[in-house]
Amino acid sequence: MSVGILILIVLGLALLGYFVGRQRALSKAANEGRKLHSLPSYYGQFLALFTAVPALILLAAWLFVQPMLIESHVSGLIPDSAIPEGGARSLVMSDVRRIADGLDALMEQGGLGEEDLTRMRADLTNIRSRLAEVGIALGSNVPVEVFDAAKTYRSEKNTGSLLMTIAVLGLSLASGGWAFMRIRPELRARNNSETFVKALLLGSSLVAILTTVGIVGSLLFETFHFFQIYPAKDFFFSTVWNPQFRGGSDLGILPLLWGTFYVSFVALVVAVPIGLMIAIYLSEYAGRALRNLAKPAIEVLAGIPTIVYGLFALITVGPFLRDWIAQPMGLGTSSSSVLTAGLVMGIMLIPFVSSLSDDIINAVPQAMRDGSYGLGATQSETIRQVILPAALPGVVGAILLAASRAIGETMIVVLGAGAAARLGLNPFDAMTTVTVKIVSQLTGDTEFASPETLVAFALGLTLFVFTLGLNVLALYIVRKYREQYE
Amino acid sequence: MNQMTEVEQKAVEMLNEPKIVARNVQVYYGDTHAIKDVDVDIPAQSVTAFIGPSGCGKSTFLRTLNRMNDTIDICRVEGDILIDGEDVYDPKVDPVQLRAKVGMVFQKPNPFPKSIYDNVAYGPRIHGLSRNKTELDEIVTSSLQKAGLWDEVKDRLDAPGTGLSGGQQQRLCIARAIAVNPEIILMDEPCSALDPIATAKVEELIDELRENYTIVIVTHSMQQAARVSQRTAFFHLGVLVEEGPTEDIFTNPHDKRTQDYITGRFG
């Protein structure tokens, strides 16, 4: 039975359980002449949850564990002699899986019976051509051991899924039945349902946290591999970035970090003053009608896909800067430049700064403004000397969040600043950033064993450490600020 | 000698001339008519208390005197409010200058998140009241002395103003108002967030400040009005019910509503 149908059956049982539980609670209460502790629907929920949740958890666990068990068993069946020269066991195993799938397909389409299959032997039948009939192409003829392994794989998989169906349905009925027996008027079904909600919410937050841990873990693992084959000293301190896919590359991170910080710096120089002034205008000067119109309009900027910004940089800003500024001043002839990417990225960041700062400035208590106006200060004096100092920590937090966004930006840089790793000061030169190089190292037909590809993980980890640091700093500052007024 | 010299007569007239004159004042919040037909004279160098139940409009009226209501979009003021004979709502009057002349202390102490020194120096700096650091130091010192806070804070002028206790913060706000050298100080329930001991200190201070400033205080507490004020005005539902010397209001009210309020029947 397929997993989808199994899930549907369990959910159907749960739905049935809902009505049964509700009915049982009502009739028990009527028989015993007692008042129900909770509303009748909670008893229904109680039974439904106990029918579905343990069974679904078992199903998930089974689906996770079964393939691992079968794989390890079957791969033990394949003797070393069956593994071709220079190949890997994992490659043979993927053949095994495909043959097993092919056999299933054959049984469906080709009228192959279970008995025919047991009689089928790799040395007598032409497996390759039969599998080709159902669309499974194999590179070579199938060795006997591999075919036998595939047969074992297939039969174990079928037994496994049969067992799984029985276990899941059995657990569903058993725990549902147990819950059914427990339904009495004094059962605190409402509290049980509350516990479940709590567990659900906790589970959701765990998903987010575990994903972060998983990402960091995989980065760390691959970075460790990289540093085993490439010296860390060269990576962190070399000023040359020159990957060669034939080997012997220079993989110094410094030019990339420099490009990242240069572009981000230009972006922040654009975004911070404009964003702050927008925030001040919106929160202090603009009327309500204008504010309600302007704030969403500015936030639209944040919703534009970065690739669109990239196009804008590539076809509008870049040529403009080159033709009107860089060339007349003799500073460069490249349309991709740090300035192009920085300017466009700055525009993208404006709403990050303005929106957050606006909220923060609004959070400064009205009493501060009153106090200042009451002393005869004008609006701009009040803003400069009272409101901005009071909002400063929060504004700094907003700026740091924008900075971490700038550091991680890729598309605008690819199209705006080019791909040349360079250490230089001229803002009209093409440069590149860490993120761009991660993309370019991983695109194309490459295997994950050479330093040229593994370096992407070391770059990613470095970037992650930087942005994580900025985010932690930003959160720390914002939190410290909040304590001031609460 | 019954006849006074001309100069003396002028002086008496000036003393008698009320500092603030309000005639036929109406205040609207959008469609709500918050203050109706208020006529009141507030004499100089004295404390005038506005009392009345919550929502009666006494704070609203107070805030019309230095045009703090200008910051609220939907608020509209009609009628005449004259300070020293000048119409406060005349288009020629700059509300910013007006507020330097008519200082304000608020219900909740609201020191700026700056040092004690910078809190007091804020007004003088904006208005350019000092030419150099020494003069500014002098203004800060004397303002803190007048507010009775100097002895408590003289060793920690660089500490943040928000770190003081509630009563100290309120006296800091009074010092901040005094530093601009105003003629009138408006106080909007200055003690409602303070404990009894801090309240007593602030009341004592108000009594001392009377010598140099015209003070208008809004208060919930009738005892406070009786203790600190020379004149009292009773507001009810946006109307000025009765106004006169504090003693008269508390011992011999003319209006039934005033009597009900001060004897505790409502409010």
Q: How do residues A103-114 score in pLDDT, each as one tens digit?
A: 777 777 766 666
Q: HEC states along A137-173? A: CCCCCCCHHHHHHHHHHHHHHHHHHHHHHHHHHHHHH
pLDDT in tens, B207-254: 999 999 999 999 988 889 999 999 999 999 889 999 999 999 999 999
CA distance A377 to chain B (A): 6
At residue B216, φ and ψ (nearest 5 deg) are: -120, 125
Q: Is A485 on the interface with B (CB under 8 A)?
A: no
pLDDT in tens, A262-294: 999 999 999 999 999 999 999 999 888 999 999
Q: Is the CB of B126 less than 8 angstroms away from the CB of A376?
A: yes
**What mean pLDDT value characterizes chain A?**
87
Q: Take residue B233 and report the two structure tokens written for it.
A: 């005005």
- Does A341 score more than 90 pLDDT? yes
Same-domain pairing of A155 and A256:
no
A476, part of any domain: yes
Same-domain pairing of A158 and A87:
yes
Chain A residues whose CB is inside 8 A of the B104 CB are: 370, 374-375
What is the pLDDT at residue A270?
95
Same-domain pairing of A478 and A331:
yes
Selected for mutation to probe chain A from B70, B120, B122 (highest A CB count within 10 Å) is B122
Q: Is A217 on the interface with B (CB under 8 A)?
A: no
Chain B residues whose CB is inside 8 A of the A382 CB are: none
Question: What is the C-alpha to C-alpha distance for residues B215 and B222, in angstroms, rounded to an integer?
Answer: 17
Q: Is the CB of A374 less than 8 angstroms away from the CB of B106?
A: yes
Q: Is A296 on the interface with B (CB under 8 A)?
A: no
A125, part of any domain: yes
A403, part of any domain: yes
Q: Is the CB of A375 less than 8 angstroms away from the CB of B176?
A: yes
Q: Assign residue A336 the CATH number of its domain.
A: 1.10.3720.10
What is the pLDDT at residue A121?
67
Selected for mutation to probe chain B from A375, A381, A388 (highest B CB count within 10 Å) is A375
Chain B residues whose CB is inside 8 A of the A376 CB are: 96-101, 123, 126-127, 180
Q: Take residue B230 and report the two structure tokens written for it.
A: 């020379």
- Domain end among A187, A219, A248: A187
ipTM exceeds 0.90: no
Same-domain pairing of A335 and A395:
yes
- Ranges A386-395, B4-13, B73-82, B187-196: which has the least confidence: B4-13
Range of the domain at A98: 3-187
Nearest CA in chain B to A391: B113
Q: Is B134 exposed, middle or buried (0-12, 13-18, 19+ CB in 10 A)?
A: exposed
Question: Could you tell me how many helices (H) and strands (E) chain B has, helices first?
Answer: 11, 10
Same-domain pairing of A246 and A179:
no
pLDDT in tens, A61-101: 999 999 888 888 888 877 777 776 666 777 778 878 888 88
Question: Residue B1 — pLDDT band, cuts 50, 70, 90?
Answer: very low
Order of strands, sheet of B47-51, starting from the edge strand that comes earlier in the sequence:
B86-87, B75-83, B20-29, B32-42, B239-245, B231-236, B47-51, B214-218, B184-188, B102-105
Which whole number is the average pLDDT over A452-466?
Answer: 90
Chain B residues whose CB is inside 8 A of the A484 CB are: 113, 162
Same-domain pairing of A257 and A167:
no
The full set of domains in chain B, from first to last, is 18-99+222-267 (3.40.50.300), 108-187 (no CATH)
Q: How many CB atoms lie within 10 A of CB B182?
A: 23
A40, part of any domain: yes
Same-domain pairing of A77 and A20:
yes
- Does A310 score more than 90 pLDDT? yes
Chain B residues whose CB is inside 8 A of the A385 CB are: 112, 122, 126
Same-domain pairing of A285 and A419:
yes
What is the bridge-based pairing of β-strands B231-236 and B47-51?
Answer: parallel
Residue type, A350: I
Q: How many CB pairs under 8 A join A and B?
A: 72
pLDDT in tens, A18-64: 999 999 999 988 888 888 888 889 999 999 999 999 999 999 999 99
| Alpha helices, H only, B116-195 | 116-127, 133-146, 150-153, 166-179
Q: Take residue B168 and report the two structure tokens written for it.
A: 């100290």
- String of b and e for B57-66 (b: at least 16 CB within 10 Å)? bbbbbbbbbb
Q: How many structural domains does chain A have?
A: 2
A208, part of any domain: no
Q: Take residue A64 and report the two structure tokens written for it.
A: 């996770």
**What mean pLDDT value characterizes chain B?**
89
CA distance B84 to chain A (A): 18
Q: Take residue A433 and report the two structure tokens written for it.
A: 């950033």
Nearest CA in chain A to B67: A374
Q: Take residue A419 and report the two structure tokens written for it.
A: 């791909």
Separation in Å, CA B161 to CA A367, B19, B173, B206: 14, 32, 9, 21
Q: Is the CB of B68 less than 8 angstroms away from the CB of A373?
A: yes
Half-sphere exposure of B130 (CA within 13 A, CB side): 18
Separation in Å, CA A329 to CA A321, A322, A326, A342: 11, 10, 5, 19
Asked whether the beta carbons of B166 and B198 are under 8 A apart, the reply is yes
pLDDT in tens, B58-83: 999 999 999 988 888 888 999 999 99
Asked whether the beta carbons of A380 and A346 are under 8 A apart, the reply is no
- Does A2 score more than 70 pLDDT? yes
Q: Is A47 on the interface with B (CB under 8 A)?
A: no
Torsion A109-A111-A116-A122 (CA) sign: negative
Same-domain pairing of A261 and A149:
no
Chain B residues whose CB is inside 8 A of the A288 CB are: 73
Question: What is the C-alpha to C-alpha distance for residues B220 and A160, in angstroms, rounded to an integer?
Answer: 80
At residue B135, φ and ψ (nearest 5 deg) are: -65, -40
The residues that bridge with B48 in the sheet, in sequence order, are: B216, B231
- Domain end among A187, A212, A247: A187
* DSSP, res B3: P
Q: Which residue has the tokens 């770190």?
A: B163
Same-domain pairing of A94 and A170:
yes
Residue type, B96: V
Size of chain B, expressed as the number of residues it contains = 267
A137, part of any domain: yes
Nearest CB among B97, B110, B111 relative to A376 is that of: B97
What is the pLDDT at residue B138?
94
A196, part of any domain: no
Same-domain pairing of A267 and A332:
yes
A199, part of any domain: no
Same-domain pairing of A364 and A457:
yes
The residues that bridge with A380 in the sheet, in sequence order, are: none
Q: Is the CB of A377 less than 8 angstroms away from the CB of B112?
A: no
Q: Is A439 on the interface with B (CB under 8 A)?
A: no
